[in-house]
Structure 1
Amino acid sequence: MKQWPYHFQSSMSNVLVIVAALMAIFLVIYGLYRILRNPFHYPYFVRSFDVSRKRNVDIEDYIDKYLCSEFGWNCIVEHHNTIINWKKRTESYIQTCILKKRRTRQLYEIIDDNFAFRFKTVRDQTRYRQQNYVKTSYKVSVLDSEIAVDWDWLVQRHRKLERIGFEATLKEYHSRDQRRQMTKELRQQIMKRDHYTCQNCGKYMPDGVGLQIDHIIPISKGGKTVASNLQVLCSKCNGRKGNRRTT
């Protein structure tokens, strides 16, 4: 059996000792890092809106639409309560912690109530990769815009939307060009709501031909393009009404 020279065996022993010492130092440093690092993570609310193939995007418009939906507002309220409960649990934990002062400082370092609710718009972009002389496309999601707000900002905005019946975004409601707010989707919604029937003479026209969408309070007199101010009239009744307010 081959015997290694004594000086070689001694060198190997020294290397093993050094490696063991380095490992021990690493474990001590890593252990200290785990103990001293900030263990808290602020529970942000994050919501993305897909605006692919859309132009002139206003992120506040999308936030308003989200707030107008019962689901969206409930999600925001629920997350606000989640933040409150997280703070209570964290503060209770700190009271029983050995590193109380350090943990208290670390908690206040990450509390970010002014920007707790984060919204962003994203759009898909087509990109290409080439492999073996074959080009293939794939889509990636790219950030378009973002905004971070606090709870009070959302509450105030929700109250403003509530005052207009959640029928439109604030930008749409206060727009000077109300006729531009009459979309194809809104026309169809009013037609279905009024059962394709003239609200003046009662004429039923299921194909929709000859029916028009009328502003109950005319735009010229401050009327808005919202569902509660719209009705279906036949062309004859709408022509007779002219620019008068429907009673």
Structure 2
Amino acid sequence: MKKSKTISELVMDYFKKHPNEDLPHGPVVDWVTKEWLKNHETPPRDPWRAIRKLHQQGKLLKIKKGVYRYDPDYTKKTELFEFPPKVKEEILKRDGYKCVVCGMGLKDGVELVVDHIIPKDKGGSNDISNGQTLCMKHNLLKKNYSQTEAGKRYFIKIYEKAVAENDHKMIQFCKRIFDAYDEYGINGHIPRPNGKPKNKQ
């Protein structure tokens, strides 16, 4: 019996049939759904998520929101920069097959990934020394750090406006947010503001 393809495999099939074309995800999702229903009774679950994940894996280029492209040359270069299987295994073995952050591993029922300590797009290498084992939760947290940076800068703006308007309630709220950043050691490279409100009349 022929094994049916995964949603991601079907997505890649569509893009490979249209190399170097800028494709909105709508037609891709429609085609994948049609192909999926040939072997399944229910529609595929969130094919657009598979598109986004393939982009995150470096297999698709994001042109703009909702539009992606498959470039065979780019994909080949990206795959060459991934950790080779042997190196991945060495990193997992070195880390005891456990997340270096929380200590949980396969025995705890968590999925593990081998992560670049210094990201590939920032010059990170494929050496064992640049790899670390993370559970999916902490890998996601690392990927979201850019969002927490944006959040902290946003609250700094709110804080500065509250100081200018002498809004003591909002000032205290922002300080609590900054305390949470400090407590969990997140984005310490962004200094918290030092503005002080005027004394209450």
Q: Which has the higher contact order (CA 8 A, sep 6+)?
A: 1
TM-score normalized with structure 2 length: 0.31
TM-score normalized with structure 1 length: 0.25
The structure whose Rg is larger is 1
Structure with a larger share of its residues in strand: 1
